[in-house]
Chain A
Amino acid sequence: MNKNINNMYPYFFLIPAILIYGTFFLVPTALSFFYSFTWWTLTDWEFIGFDNFIQFFQEPSLRIGFRNTLIFAFTTMGGKVILGLALAVFLTSKIRNKDLLRSIVFFPALLSTIAVGYTFSSMMHPTKGVINTILSFFGITGPNWLGNPDIALLSVAMTDIWKGVGIATVIFIAGLMAIPTHYYEALKIDGGNALQAFWHITLPLSRPAMNTVIILALIGGLRTFDLVWAMTGGGPGFSTDLLASIVYKQYAAGFFGLSTAGNVLLFLFVAMVAFPIFKFINRKEVDL
């Protein structure tokens, strides 16, 4: 019987998936490990060992990508976790209009990153932009958001948080709704206040949702390309260049081997950040 039932799940059902996923994702990924060690013109290649990687770690304009990528990924992750959790707590409380507010917060997630990038870079114009005009109304002189190399990366990160916080909020809302209400009732009977409820019930029991948000935000942040491309193009200087935009620049300049090496570094970077966190949080996950 058991043998027969397995015939109902033939392996050839996997063939279309293997063909497409294999050809268009797995094979190029495997090839990139080889070509990252070459001087490559697409028609011709020459094996040069670790030269591409050495160049990546020696040239300041390339090396800065690592620092920026880490800052960007962790800033946006932190912002999405904190704001997302705060919004979720607010939007699961007994307020009216919460459906409308949830929709408003979530909608930016559906918009194209490029459109959002162009809109925010116009709003961040140093003299006439909407953000600084509003700030000057309160007597604050706003900075040159995208023109100042010290804060440009954070300005891009803030835009990313604006666009992505809705997804984090929705995930947190799902997590909070899964917490049984009798925990809160028990705490109330014992005389606990709202802060204690948040600290001792909401925070620990929203761990699974938080882990999901952390993983999604970190992977997304490490891979970001289009937002930087639309807002700053990596400038001023190289102050907002992320690994993914460096990969594009090297590709556009015709340095295919170097670009592929950057791609491989990006894989390793994502894996190095994602896998340990993945393992760590799976170990510590609390069951409801």
Chain B
Amino acid sequence: MRANVISQINEQQQQEELIQARKRSSRRMLILETLGVLVALTFFGIPFYFVLINSFKDRAGASLLNLSFPENFQFLRNYKEVLTLNDGVVLRAFMNSTIITVLSLTTIIIICSMAAFVIARRSGLAKKLNYVILIGLMIPPSIVPTIWLLQGMGLFKTFPGIISLEAGLHFSFACLLYTAFVGTIPKELDEAALMDGCGPFNLFFRVIFPLLKPVTSTVIVLSSIQIYNDFENMLYFFPGADNATVQLTLYNFTGIYGTEYHLLFADVLLISIPPLILFIFFNKKIVDGMTAGAVKG
């Protein structure tokens, strides 16, 4: 009897302790959550706020580089000035970057999916190609020989030149993604197509390529961001005022006579709009593609 009462009391105590512990842990969780949001806002929010608020200031205000609210609010004037500067070099840059991104993407999708199809399906020689492709993933491009070669072919500073180059440099990554994905498509499909008297072109373009849609959209998102944000290759292989691309327009506002911060930050925001749009619409896709590509590749 006594033992029974004691065990009952013990049980009650334990239960109370459990409830207490749960309360404590839920309070700890709340503190942790708040802290997490605060830290994220400090580290990731402040830089964005800094750029945004300074792109609204006048020249003197922005050169103070602080986080205060603009005294002289000139949103429209700054952005208009950025867009009309040097006969609209920023708009031209947007055009150029769009052309380069779209055309290199198209090239990448066609050449990578075709190559990956053969590499994934054939054994022997094609498998060895994987090593050659891996090299492209690691080794940085060689600069001067590439320029020399482009000059020799008459492609230096031309759209066909930079487009082929971007396609060549992004080939490895996309090809590996495609190869991994083709491996998951059953070979029975090919056999059925063969029975039906389908040729390789029909098999690939009418049966296989439509099935590659998930990888294709991953490639579109990831490669378009990389090519759009590319600075190094544009600097080396596509120089010249007429050939301005968006990343190089930032140069216009940092000069020997001091940086025009209000215009620089307005331009930073303008050129970040396309990635932002992509991000809003393809957030999940980007993250999925990133992880799929990274963990398998």
Contact = CB atoms under 8 A, between A and B. Distances in A.
Nearest to B296: A212
- Which one of A6, A28, A274 has the greatest number of beta carbons of chain B within 10 Å? A28
A24 B275 contact: no
Nearest to B122: A9
A75 interface: no
Interface stretch (B4-12, B43-51, B74-82, B210-218): B43-51
A242 to B, nearest CB: 11
A247 B232 CA distance: 12
B294 A95 contact: no
A263 B295 contact: no
Interface majority SS (helix, strand, loop, mixed), chain A: helix
A42 interface: yes
B167 A13 contact: no
A18 B64 CA distance: 53
Given A8-B194, A119-B51, A267 B139 contact: yes
A260 B143 contact: yes
B194 to A, nearest CB: 6
Given A17-B111, A271-B138, A274-B138, A216 B232 contact: no
A76 B246 CA distance: 27
A24 B168 contact: yes
A114 interface: yes
Nearest to A256: B144
Contact of A174 (B33, B146, B272, B291): B291
Contacts of B276: 110
A260 B142 CA distance: 7
B247 A20 contact: no
A20 B115 CA distance: 12
B240 interface: no
B44 A14 contact: no
B241 interface: no
A128 B66 contact: yes
Contacts of A104: 40-41, 44-45
Contacts of A97: 33, 36-37
A10 B290 contact: no
B149 interface: yes
B44 to A, nearest CB: 5
- Which one of B41, B126, B138 has the greatest number of beta carbons of chain A within 10 Å? B138
Nearest to B42: A134
Contacts of B140: 223, 244, 263, 266-267, 270
Interface string A44-66: 00000000000000000000000
B27 interface: no
Interface string B100-121: 0000000100111011011101
Contact of B36 (A29, A90, A162): A90
A266 B138 CA distance: 11
Interface string B38-76: 001101111100110000000000001111000000000
A111 B121 contact: no
Interface string A148-167: 00000000000000100001
A212 B295 CA distance: 6
A74 interface: no
- Which one of A20, A113, A120, A230 has the greatest number of beta carbons of chain B within 10 Å? A20
Contacts of A32: 142, 144-145
Interface in B120-149: 121-122, 126, 129, 132-133, 135-149
A97 B32 CA distance: 12
B34 to A, nearest CB: 10
Given A40-B144, A259-B144, A271 B139 contact: yes
A21 B122 contact: no
B169 A25 contact: yes
B254 interface: yes
Interface in A199-255: 208-209, 212, 216, 219, 223, 225-226, 229-230, 244, 247-248, 251
Nearest to A106: B287
A101 B259 CA distance: 33
Nearest to B272: A111
B158 interface: no
Given A25-B169, A130-B67, A266-B140, A170 B145 contact: no
B193 interface: yes
Contact of A260 (B145, B194, B287): B145
Contacts of B159: none
Interface of A: 4-11, 13-14, 16-18, 20-21, 23-29, 31-32, 35, 40, 42, 90, 94-97, 101-108, 110-116, 118-120, 122-123, 125, 128-130, 133, 162, 167, 170-171, 173-175, 208-209, 212, 216, 219, 223, 225-226, 229-230, 244, 247-248, 251, 256, 259-260, 263-264, 266-267, 270-271, 274
Given A4-B194, A9-B121, A14-B114, 15 more contacts: A21-B136, A23-B168, A24-B168, A29-B145, A31-B149, A32-B142, A32-B145, A35-B148, A97-B33, A171-B294, A216-B294, A219-B137, A230-B250, A267-B142, A270-B140
Query: Which 5 pairs between the two chains have the least Cβ-Cβ distance?
Result: A24-B168, A174-B291, A32-B142, A17-B115, A31-B145
18 contacts: A8-B203, A11-B118, A13-B118, A14-B118, A14-B119, A16-B115, A20-B164, A25-B141, A35-B148, A103-B283, A112-B246, A112-B271, A114-B231, A118-B254, A118-B268, A119-B47, A230-B250, A260-B145
